[in-house]
Amino acid sequence: MSRKRHILPGFNLSLGWSVTWLSLIVLLPFVALIGKTFSGGWSHYWETVSDPQVLASYRVSFGISMIAALINGFFGLLAAWIFARYDFPGRRLMEAATDLPFALPTAVAGIALCALYSPNEWLGKLFAPLGIKIAFTPLGVLIAMIFIGFPFVVRAVQPVISELSADVEEAAACLGASRWQTLRHVVFPPLLPSLLTGIIMAYGRAVGEYGSIIFISGNIPFKTEITPLMIVSKLDQYDYTGAAAIGFTMLAASLVIVIIGNSLQSWSNRFRNRV
């Protein structure tokens, strides 16, 4: 029986090194986190993660992140459509600006947002007479989460739009379909898997965000505190077990988000192959 040959020389050795590296860089830290989490016992873990202040931070991190991801889903789809289907002056500059949150340090983003939306700053003082306060409120947290999650939706959807043939849309129009019918039955179905993937990615990014939020949120207990800040607060109090407990909860939530995102990506790939 002939042995199957691999194109990559030394496949077994490469696989072994890859698994070893993955274990050292990713898996072992997670195992250490789990061990530290339950070193104080189950009662200490439950007492930490169910503390009212921590529960309030869950509502901020997970709740506002979901709203931000849905908003990014709508406007990210519009931006991706414009970038993929139209050529206009400044398009490349706009695309580069869309990717800016990928490279911009999060602390710099937080300072920039504060400089824009604080009550005495550029936009903040325009909304202040209307009784609308942005900085140091949940609205400011929402804006920060939208800022850091927007490019994930655009980059997930834009390649799919680029692959869609305009001939199918023209054929639907020739057969008497309205613009809404064409959008609903011809354009949107192929985009849905990638759009959901982008929304999940933006959601996961916003849930774990720290640097760009702590400046504009004001860190008000039970109102604008995010869960990553609770971890840092536990570390400042030398409560390493408590910090690990909250971190493990965030890890479990992030794992669920990653699994859902990967499943949606696989669904998107299968759907595109069928089309």
Q: Read off the pLDDT of residues 79-104 as tens digits, 9 standing for 90 and up.
A: 999 998 888 888 889 998 899 888 88
Q: Which residues contact 61 (CB under 8 A, 6 or more apart)?
A: 206, 207, 226, 227, 228
pLDDT at 1: 45
Q: What is the DSSP string of 1-47?
A: -PPPPPSSTTHHHHHHHHHHHHIIIIIHHHHHHHHHHGGG-HHHHHH
Which CATH number is correct for 59-274, 3.40.50.720, 2.60.40.10, 3.20.20.60, 1.10.3720.10? 1.10.3720.10
CA 242 to chain centre: 25
Report for 153-167, 237-251, 252-266: range of highest mean pLDDT: 237-251
Q: What digits encode the pLDDT tens for the residues 12-32?
A: 777 788 888 888 888 888 888
What is the C-alpha R_g of the chain? 23
Q: What does pTM read for this prediction?
A: 0.85
pLDDT category of residue 50 using cuts at 50, 70 and 90: very high
Six-digit token string for 107? 């602390």
